[in-house]
Amino acid sequence: MIKKNNPNELIIVDGVVGSGKTTFMNLLKEELSLPGFEEPVTDNPLLEKFYHDRKRYSFPLQVFFLNRRFRMLKDAGANLTASVMDRSIYGDVIFAKLLHEGGDMEKDEFDLYQELLVNMLDHIESPKLMIYLKCDVDTAISRIEKRGRDYEQIVERDYWERLNREYEAYFKEYSLSKLLVIDVKNYDLLENEKDRKEVMDLVKKAITES
């Protein structure tokens, strides 16, 4: 499904819910002086409804994300310089697959989602660098609880565990572009300057090699 087109200058940060994607993206923006594209969460009218009724809202939510991420990729591609993005269209299929296999998305809905995704991928380029923030379930849940979004607190642990397994499987096979895996449990990027420098050096090295 994923097409390996000519790479652009985009750096993508991906990972499970609670892995720290937005925080990491903002650090990259500051460190590398790059424009950023944040995941459409705060202005999403379907997200809270989805967490209360996944079966009803799984398909429209995934289409909402697909549409927004496609637009973000087009906007990023229009830039003459590099940019950084908080998750993108590539890893979004992980959620759709999880919802379908869990019985929250019908087969015809999942088939239509995949058709839309393939059509969009024909018109975008692969990223220069994909950064996967590897995050264990306990760490992710702790961060989710700490940030306190009400609709995330009602989600059962099994959902987060299944999501983590899907992410691990996806990035184990990822070959679309240069991939940098960072285990976030090993670093305190907000409070520890040494950790932050070490991770930023890893990113700069990966960019140079990509």
pLDDT in tens, 169-193: 999 999 888 999 999 988 888 889 9
Looking at this protein, which amino acid is placed at residue 168? E
CA 62 – CA 59 distance, rounded (Å): 5
Domain that includes residue 106, residue range: 10-209
Q: Is 128 annotated as a binding residue?
A: no
- Residue ranges of alpha helices (H) inside 8-156 are 21-32, 47-52, 54-78, 89-101, 107-121, 137-147, 150-153
Q: Is 48 annotated as a binding residue?
A: no
- pLDDT for 79 equals 64
Residue of 207, 17, 208 lying closest to 130 (CA atoms): 207
Q: Is 81 annotated as a binding residue?
A: no
The CATH number given to whatever domain includes residue 150 is 3.40.50.300
Does residue 44 fall inside a structural domain?
yes
- Per the model's pLDDT, the better-predicted residue between 9 and 12 turns out to be 12
Q: For the chain, how are helix, strand and coil distributed in percent, rounded to 5? A: 60, 10, 30
Domain count, the chain: 1
Does residue 4 fall inside a structural domain?
no
Residue of 16, 7, 104, 5 lying closest to 62 (CA atoms): 104
Does residue 1 fall inside a structural domain?
no
* Contact yes or no for 134/24 (Cβ under 8 A): no
The predicted-structure confidence for 76-91, as pLDDT tens digits, reads as follows 776 657 889 888 888 8
C-alpha radius of gyration, the chain, whole number: 17
- pLDDT for 80 equals 57
Q: Is 42 annotated as a binding residue?
A: no
Q: Is 199 annotated as a binding residue?
A: no
Does residue 193 fall inside a structural domain?
yes
Does residue 3 fall inside a structural domain?
no
The predicted-structure confidence for 33-60, as pLDDT tens digits, reads as follows 988 888 776 678 898 899 889 999 999 9
Does residue 198 fall inside a structural domain?
yes
User: Mind telling me the catalytic residues?
Assistant: 86
CA 162 – CA 146 distance, rounded (Å): 21
Does residue 2 fall inside a structural domain?
no
